[in-house]
């Protein structure tokens, strides 16, 4: 992830210490120039300034650049059950960062304008969003690679968006009812499915994610 620096600027005014005092009883206003009278200064400290903040921004960016350069992207490590157990980086063939929770290695996202009957995949590519699924781009169908419990989302802005598993309608979202649906389903290895909208030219989107 790249760090984008912000350029800080000092506040510039004509009278930095000037204050306006108002008598709330009479409404009379008086301008006063205020200056510090702090006695003995035991430590001056660091003044807030644009130069200091810009220096901090640059030091943070330098560290981000160093980390990004050393990692050079992540490759997921997937075990035999389909769960991601860690990531490898170009820092070394055996460099793995394990974790115990979070994304668990079975995810598919489909989105697009319907051409014919099946929703066209446009925003996903295997290896980037697909884990635990195979996808047949010509048939616009996915195949489940692991048994488990999957959560799914269906969303529509018009018409119907439906989830089919093994060519059977499971559930659909509609603009006249629930426009977005969240639910779970038990799937087996080898099950096939697709996200579709009911008319050509309609938009459909949805995802499935293995949760157990």
Per DSSP, 131 falls in state B
Per-residue pLDDT reduced to its tens digit, 11-48: 999 998 999 999 999 999 999 999 989 999 999 888 88
Per-residue pLDDT reduced to its tens digit, 55-96: 999 999 888 887 766 655 556 666 666 665 656 655 555 545
Q: Order of strands across the sheet with 74-78? A: 74-78, 84-89, 92-96
Q: 107-210, what's its fold?
A: Jelly Rolls (2.60.120)
Higher pLDDT, 169 or 113: 169
Name the residue ranges covered by the structural domains of the chain.
Answer: 1-35+44-71, 72-102, 107-210
Q: In whole angstroms, give the CA distance from residue 207 to residue 132.
A: 13
172 pLDDT higher than 70: yes
Q: In whole angstroms, give the CA distance from residue 199 to residue 114.
A: 7
In angstroms, what CA-CA distances link 205 with 27, 51, 121, 132?
63, 48, 9, 19
Strand residue runs (E) in 18-129 = 18-22, 29-33, 74-78, 84-89, 92-96, 107-113
């Amino acid at each position: 992830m790249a760090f984008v620096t912000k350029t800080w600027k000092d506040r510039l005014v004509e009278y930095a210490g000037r204050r306006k005092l108002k008598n709330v009883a009479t409404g009379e206003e008086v301008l006063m120039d205020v200056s510090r009278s702090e006695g003995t200064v035991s430590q001056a400290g660091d003044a807030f300034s644009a130069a200091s903040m810009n220096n901090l921004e640059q030091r943070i960016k330098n560290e981000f650049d160093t980390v990004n350069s050393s990692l050079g992207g992540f490759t997921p490590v997937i075990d035999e059950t389909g769960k991601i157990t860690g990531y490898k980086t170009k820092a070394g063939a055996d460099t793995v960062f394990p974790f115990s929770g979070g994304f668990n290695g079975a995810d598919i996202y489909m989105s697009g304008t319907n051409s014919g009957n099946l929703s066209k995949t446009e925003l996903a590519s295997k290896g980037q969003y697909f884990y635990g699924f195979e996808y047949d781009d010509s048939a616009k169908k996915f195949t489940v690679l692991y048994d488990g419990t999957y959560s799914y989302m269906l969303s529509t802005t018009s018409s119907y968006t439906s989830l089919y598993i093994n060519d059977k309608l499971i559930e659909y979202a509609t603009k006249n009812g629930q426009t977005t649906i969240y639910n779970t389903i038990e799937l087996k290895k080898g099950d096939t499915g697709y996200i579709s909208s009911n008319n050509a030219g309609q938009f459909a989107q949805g995802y499935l994610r293995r949760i157990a």
